[in-house]
């Protein structure tokens, strides 16, 4: 079958417009992110006819291999990591669009060779001079790579072509470094060219928060301090640090999760309705929420934040080592693997509504969710009945591993006495809409190719997220923990995390039930 006919012959129905013609340049093409996520995501886009026929990939890595060897490795990888089966004709079409350049990312000699390769690829595949640079590298390379690209004219936009760069997290390791990186990038690129990616925003439920809130008239009127008691955001993982011990011990749970993933979930949950779904209209409202989070004083850090480190314990019935026993982790590490916080948003909608956050490794179940707990109904009507208390309604947006929404409410238990039981109404995406093979990167890559930055962070959003955690980092650095490890693997973190809510008469949602 001719290459030009492969995409149109695929049986899947196209949902959305195809991406613009472009060449995607992947720095770090020999790494795990490329083989596990990026190439499978691109293949899924091709399967759904969302890639342009005028498309190519140029992998850039330090490994000295030929282009044929690169294609062979990627072919082996796609057999292992594809979300679904691999169509032979489509893969052949895709494979012919794979190219490779080797070199050190900080070597200035790499970039003229890359430019020469891109000129050839543009001519061969008619990609119109549009380039998408994906920095799947260590954070130290972000600034130097973009500066070198600009130095040989590969960030310059002229005529009809565009140039965009996707920057992976971590975007800085504190407020000062995030500001410095922003300044470094913005010296050689415009803000509209920079796409700071957070793969959590590729998940359907995260994207659906806006649709759920603003497309359903029964929820938006009660989405405020009059009806909502508090909000919980949990990002729980059963895994430890795996092979990332040396990196993780420099980052920790706070840096790794809170300024990016969790701040994005807070902003989408709490933001005001945007004037439209244009990228900057949505991100303007997100930024307002992040700037409205009340800064924590040193005393607040001591009373409103909790840190923990896991020791050995049981996960799914199997004994697992403690954090200090993991490969690459010092035996006396003071690094946190668990964080819980209580935050307040200082605006009209959310005054006095606490936002409780927790994230950690080696917890009992893998679960990411936003829990909206509503205020209890008045007890007056039930005073002379056997009902002793009224359970609060909970709306839960499940983000992973299952993606869906559940609503918990009270209903009368059948029988002569007035007794109430909890009822959960559950909606899962796969049950209602079917499941699409997905790595979580498809939507984000497609959005970048069509120039939609809605799901990507702006510079001001990144810096606002770091402003929230900076006081915590400062206090924790000044007062190292004395009781690590303070929770066993397979438990829900240190006891102080439970106390954080119990002092307010509240409890964490139990996801194991």
Query: Would the pLDDT of 87 be above 60?
Result: yes
Q: Tell me, what CATH number does 155's domain have?
A: 3.40.50.720
* 347-353: long-range pairs with CB below 8 Å, 24+: 347/288, 347/289, 347/292, 349/223, 349/224, 349/225, 349/270, 349/272, 350/224, 350/225, 350/270, 350/292, 351/225, 352/225, 353/225, 353/228, 353/229, 353/230, 353/231
Could you say which of 168, 193, 223 is where a domain stops? 168
**Statement to judge: residues 439 and 488 lie in one domain:** yes
Do 160 and 251 fall within a single domain? no
- CA distances 265 to 200, 290, 304, 427, 508, Å, are 9, 11, 19, 20, 17
* Domain of residue 160, residue span: 3-168
Report yes or no: 428 and 403 within 8 Å, Cβ to Cβ.
yes
Q: Check whether residue 261 and residue 161 sit in a common domain.
A: no
CB atoms under 10 Å from CB of 102, counted, come to 18
Please, what is the Cα angle at 382 between 380 and 388, to 5 degrees? Answer: 110
Question: Smallest Cα–Cα separation from 338: which of 313, 363, 309?
Answer: 309
pLDDT confidence of residue 4: 46
Based on the number of CB atoms within 10 Å of its own CB, is 149 exposed (0-12), middle (13-18) or buried (19 or more)?
buried
Does some domain include residue 186?
no
- Whether residue 264 sits in one domain with residue 379: yes
Whether residue 178 lies inside any domain: the answer is no
Using the 3D structure, point to which of 168, 189, 221 is the last residue of a domain: 168
pLDDT digits (tens, 9 = 90+) for 311-324: 999 988 899 999 99
Annotated catalytic residue 261: yes
Whether the bond into 33 is cis, omega within 30 of 0? no
CATH code of the domain containing 358: 3.30.360.10
pLDDT, position 440: 81
Tokens found for residue 401: 């591993």
| Out of 111-125, 425-439, 441-455, least confident range | 425-439
**Chain centre to alpha carbon of residue 97:** 29
Q: Which residue is catalytic, options 261, 291, 331, 446?
A: 261
Q: How many domains are there within the chain?
A: 2
The answer for residues whose C-beta is within 8 angstroms of residue 284's C-beta and 6 or more apart is 274
Is 60 exceeded by the pLDDT of residue 74? yes
What does the pLDDT average to over 46-59?
A: 94
Same domain as 327, residue 469: yes
Q: Give the mean pLDDT of 442-459.
A: 92
Q: Is the residue at 149 inside a domain? A: yes
User: What's the pLDDT band for 364 if we cut at 50, 70, 90?
Assistant: very high
State both tokens at 126. Answer: 């008619």
Residues 485 and 429 in one domain: yes
Angle between helices 142-151 and 110-125 (to 10 degrees): 70
Q: Are 110 and 212 part of one and the same domain?
A: no
Answer yes or no: is 195 within a domain.
no
User: 319 and 370 in one domain?
Assistant: yes
CA dihedral 89, 94, 95, 99 (to 10 degrees): 170
Question: How many alpha carbons lie under 13 Å from residue 340 in its C-beta half-sphere?
Answer: 21
Residue 355 located in a structural domain: yes
Q: Which of 168, 187, 212 is the C-terminal boundary of a domain? A: 168
pLDDT digit string (tens) for 154-194? 999 988 899 999 998 889 899 999 999 999 999 999 999 99
CA 281 – CA 293 distance, rounded (Å):
20
315 lies in the same domain as 230: yes
CA distances from 235 to 379, 398, 461 (A): 33, 10, 20
Helix (H, G, I), strand (E, B) or coil at 509: coil
Q: Is residue 143 part of a domain?
A: yes
Beta bridge pairs of residue 61: 102
> What is the DSSP secondary-structure string of 78-99?
HHHH-SS---HHHHHHHHTTEE
Q: Are residues 108 and 244 in the same domain?
A: no
Residue in the structure block whose two tokens are 């895709």: 94
- Please measure the distance between the N-terminal and C-terminal CA atoms of the chain and give it in whole angstroms: 52
Say whether both 370 and 234 belong to one domain: yes
DSSP string for residues in 436-471: ----S-HHHHHHHHHT--TTSB-HHHHHHHHHHHHH
CA distance linking residue 162 with residue 272, whole number of Å:
32
* Burial class, 503, CB count within 10 angstroms (exposed 0-12 / middle 13-18 / buried 19+): exposed
Alpha-carbon 91 to chain mean position: 28
What are residue 202's DSSP bridge partners? none
- pLDDT of 310 reads 96
pLDDT at 158: 82
Q: Which of 45-49, 76-80, 111-115, 210-214 has the highest mean pLDDT?
A: 111-115
Does residue 354 contact residue 230 with C-beta atoms inside 8 Å?
yes
**Contact residues for 211 (Cβ-Cβ < 8 A; gap 6+):** none
Nearest to 338 by CA among 484, 466, 462: 484
Residues 214 and 322 both lie in one domain: yes
The fraction of the chain above a pLDDT of 70, given in percent, is 93
The radius of gyration of the chain's CA atoms, rounded to the nearest angstrom, is 25
Instruction: Give CA–CA dist 467/363, Å, rounded.
Output: 27
pLDDT in tens, 125-155: 999 999 999 999 988 999 999 999 999 999 9
| Strand 338-344 with 318-320, pairing | unpaired
Residue 43 lies in a domain: yes
Q: What is the pLDDT of residues 2-38, one digit of tens each?
A: 444 555 444 444 467 889 999 999 999 999 999 999 9
Whether the pLDDT of residue 377 is over 80: the answer is no
On the question of a cis peptide bond just before residue 416, with omega within 30 degrees of 0, the verdict is: no
Q: How many whole angstroms separate alpha carbon 364 and alpha carbon 338?
A: 13
pLDDT of residue 72: 95
Does residue 79 form part of some domain?
Answer: yes
Average pLDDT across the chain, whole number: 90
Mean pLDDT check: name the lowest of 46-60, 211-225, 377-391, 399-413. 377-391
């Amino acid at each position: 079958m001719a290459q030009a006919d492969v995409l149109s012959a695929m049986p899947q129905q196209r949902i959305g417009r195809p991406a613009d013609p472009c060449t995607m340049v992947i720095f770090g093409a020999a790494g795990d992110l490329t083989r596990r996520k990026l190439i499978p995501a691109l293949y899924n886009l091709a399967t759904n006819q969302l890639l342009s026929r005028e498309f190519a990939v140029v992998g850039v890595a330090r490994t000295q291999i030929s282009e044929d060897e690169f294609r062979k490795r990627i072919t082996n990888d796609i057999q292992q990591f594809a979300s679904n089966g691999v169509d032979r004709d489509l893969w052949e079409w895709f494979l012919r669009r794979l190219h490779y350049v080797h070199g050190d990312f900080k070597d200035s000699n790499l970039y003229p060779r890359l430019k020469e390769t891109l000129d050839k690829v543009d001519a061969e595949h008619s990609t119109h001079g549009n380039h998408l640079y994906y920095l799947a590298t260590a954070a130290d390379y972000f600034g130097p790579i973009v500066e070198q690209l600009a130095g040989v004219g590969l960030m310059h936009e002229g005529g009809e072509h565009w140039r965009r760069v996707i920057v992976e997290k971590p975007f800085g390791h504190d407020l000062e470094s995030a500001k410095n990186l922003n300044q470094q990038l913005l010296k050689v690129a415009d803000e509209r060219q920079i796409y700071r990616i957070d793969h959590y925003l590729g998940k359907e439920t995260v994207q659906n928060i806006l649709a759920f809130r603003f497309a359903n008239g029964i929820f938006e009127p009660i989405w405020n301090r009059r009806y909502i008691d508090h909000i919980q955001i949990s990002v729980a993982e059963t895994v430890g640090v795996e092979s990332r011990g040396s990196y993780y011990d420099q980052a920790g749970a706070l840096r790794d999760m809170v300024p990016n993933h969790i701040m994005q979930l807070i902003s989408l949950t709490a933001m005001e309705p945007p004037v439209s779904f244009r990228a900057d209209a949505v991100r303007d409202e997100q930024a307002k929420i992040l700037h409205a989070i009340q800064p924590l004083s040193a005393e607040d850090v001591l009373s409103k934040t909790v840190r923990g480190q896991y020791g050995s314990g049981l996960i799914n019935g199997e004994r697992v080592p403690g954090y200090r026993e993991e490969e690459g982790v010092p035996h006396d590490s003071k690094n946190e693997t668990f964080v819980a916080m209580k935050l307040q948003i200082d605006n009209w909608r959310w005054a006095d509504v606490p936002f409780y956050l927790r994230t950690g490794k080696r917890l009992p179940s893998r679960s990411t969710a936003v829990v909206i707990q509503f205020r209890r109904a008045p007890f007056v009507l039930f005073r002379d009945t056997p009902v002793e208390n009224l359970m609060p309604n909970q709306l839960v947006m499940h983000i992973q591993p299952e993606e869906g929404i559940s609503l918990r409410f009270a209903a009368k238990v059948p029988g002569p006495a007035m007794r109430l039981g909890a009822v959960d109404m559950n909606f899962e995406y796969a049950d209602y809409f079917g499941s699409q093979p997905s790595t979580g990167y498809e939507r984000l890559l497609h959005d970048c190719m069509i120039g939609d930055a809605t799901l990507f962070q702006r510079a001001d959003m990144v810096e606002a997220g770091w402003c929230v955690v900076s006081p915590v980092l400062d206090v924790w650095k000044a007062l190292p923990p004395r009781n690590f490890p303070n929770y066993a693997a397979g438990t829900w973190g240190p006891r102080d995390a439970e106390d954080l809510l119990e002092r307010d008469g509240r409890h964490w949602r139990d996801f194991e039930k």
